[in-house]
Structure 1
Amino acid sequence: MIVYLFDGSFEGFLTCIYYSYYNKKKPELFIDKNYYIPNFTYELIEIDTEKDKFERVYSSLEKKLLDETLRRIYYLFLSSEDENYSLLYEYIKLCFKYEKEVDLHLNNDIILNTHKLARRVSLEAHRFTGFVRFQEVYKDTFYSKISPDHNILPLLLNHFVKRFSSMRFIIHDTKRNIAIIYDGEKATLGELKLEQVPKITPGVYEELWKRYFKSTTILERENPRLQKRSMPKRYWANLPEI
């Protein structure tokens, strides 16, 4: 089994696409080297991220595809479903084959599954624009903890920087140990472990959220079943108003 080992970045993945094409070696599996467990049955090919190779592949995709298809490629890359990289590899091959008409071929299982999975990522990112709750951890610095199913922080970054442009904040994905850190001027996305964050005790911000939630809930229209559909229970641990 041919396995491509890369650094887990989008740039690294498209570098893998480049070498797969030019070396004529089709990988059966892509593995982020941060999570690699040695396996002697693999024919391992380690691919270093190369900016020029990434840009060649991405530029080619830009010329051949609609913007919506480019977004779909990125959403699928951010998915945490098993073998999403392998599905994305097959989808990109079809993108080069069908170009702008690729997404019309919904009778193809690869394209259909790509649409379904990319939509899940997009929907979760949209949900979390309303599911992030901040608490003050330092003077004028706010922290939020989330644990999404997919790696959606890159999709949330611009939204929250625009929405809270004058506020210093951290949005922490504790499942992946990464965070958006915004200092009021510049935002970065990088590694952050839970033990690096000061312990947060329930306080005034948590209480305000609880009061707000109660005040906006009309008893006659209260519908827990609908709440669960629009605000899935697996997210409730990080929502103080619940």
Structure 2
Amino acid sequence: MSRSLTPLNQPNSPQKSRAGGAARPTAPVLAAPPLDYTYDGSFEGLLTVLFAIYDRKAAPNSIQPLGAVQGGLFTQPLLVETHEATAARVWEGLLRHMTAEARTRLFHAFLSEQPDRELLIFRYADLAMRSAQDIAENYADDNVRRVAHLAQQMGREKHRMEAFVRFEKTSDELFHATIEPDFDVLPLIAPHFTKRYADQRWLIFDQRRGYGLYYDLHRTDIVQFETGSAAPRGTGVSATVLDEREPLFKVLWQTYFDHVNIPERRNMKLHRRHIPLRYWKYLSEKQPRETRFEPIKNKRPATE
């Protein structure tokens, strides 16, 4: 399955929304018998499927990625080959029916990895193309409500990943971090880390999905491990390839958190709400202490 950091590998730049006074084009009537569609699992592939639906005028019974196809006894799904130019045409064409923000929600819904995300995106796009008004806030519709909810979930997960990623420095000056988010958020966090850590090489590896982001001081790219190769496992890299000062950095980081902690204001219920337990295994400050905590004795004795 191919992946891209931004839809259609385009740079992160503001897109022009459809002019408010422009007439909305009418979507073709889907009068042909419904079909089952399958594609390569990429967002560009799904956009190509949307084009094929209206080109054939055949609504989808199902849209399934390759490898997860469940065909019927008497029918075979139609394989739609991905075409970058067609996908770009569909992506730009969506702006005639929705705002750039609403279009971005569709990309976020795709990254959510929900089992029925393809049909959900089709229904949202089809509704937008057949409506005389902007549907982005039509929360009475179940499809609009679900897409908005998924976009909110993706936003929260993106924010948490940007806050909770902890890097380890290797002996060859590479900063490595392992994550396992609930959703496929790597394409969303790439701009943040590219801008914030522009002066160092880094790799963020999504252990659940088997791919990562690699920044080489010039650009950020998707890196994917071949099937059967030794992909990183566990919560970090092997101690044999870490920089010799990395254990000291870990102790200093833990010591900092210990000293800024105020025991009298401890509230674990609130703490778990802001930092869910599933993230703790990747946070240095949540690992067992190698040195015993000793409070800093810098307070002056009370004078009478």
Q: Normalising by the residue count of structure 2, what TM-score does the alignment of the two structures yield?
A: 0.73
Q: Which of 121, 129, 138 does residue 162 from structure 2 map onto?
A: 129
Inter-partner Cα distance in structure 2 for 1:144 and 1:192? 16
- 1:1-242 equivalences under 5 Å are 2-33=35-66, 35-36=67-68, 39-41=71-73, 43-98=76-131, 101-192=134-225, 195-197=230-232, 199-201=237-239, 203-242=247-286
Please say if residues 137 and 200 of structure 1, whose CA atoms lie closer than 8 Å, have aligned partners that are also in contact: no
SS, match of residue 54 in structure 2: helix
Partner letter of residue 80 of structure 2?
I
Q: Structure 1 residues 87 and 78 mapped into 2: Cα distance closer, same or farther (>3 Å)? A: same
Query: Structure 1: which 5+ runs fail to align?
Result: none
**Structure showing the higher helix proportion among its residues:** 1
After TM superposition, give the deviation of residue 40 of structure 1 in Å.
Answer: 4.8
SS, match of residue 166 in structure 2: coil
Please say if residues 176 and 202 of structure 2, whose CA atoms lie closer than 8 Å, have aligned partners that are also in contact: yes
Partner letter of residue 241 of structure 1?
E
Query: Structure 2: which 5+ runs fail to align?
Result: 1-33, 240-245, 287-304
- Cα deviation, 1:48-76, whole Å, max 9, x if unaligned, reads 11112111111111233212101211110
After TM superposition, give the deviation of residue 113 of structure 1 in Å.
Answer: 1.2
- Cα deviation, 1:157-178, whole Å, max 9, x if unaligned, reads 0100000001100000000001
Please say if residues 210 and 231 of structure 2, whose CA atoms lie closer than 8 Å, have aligned partners that are also in contact: no
Partner letter of residue 151 of structure 2?
A
Please say if residues 98 and 136 of structure 2, whose CA atoms lie closer than 8 Å, have aligned partners that are also in contact: no
Structure index of larger Rg: 2
Superposed CA RMSD:
2.1
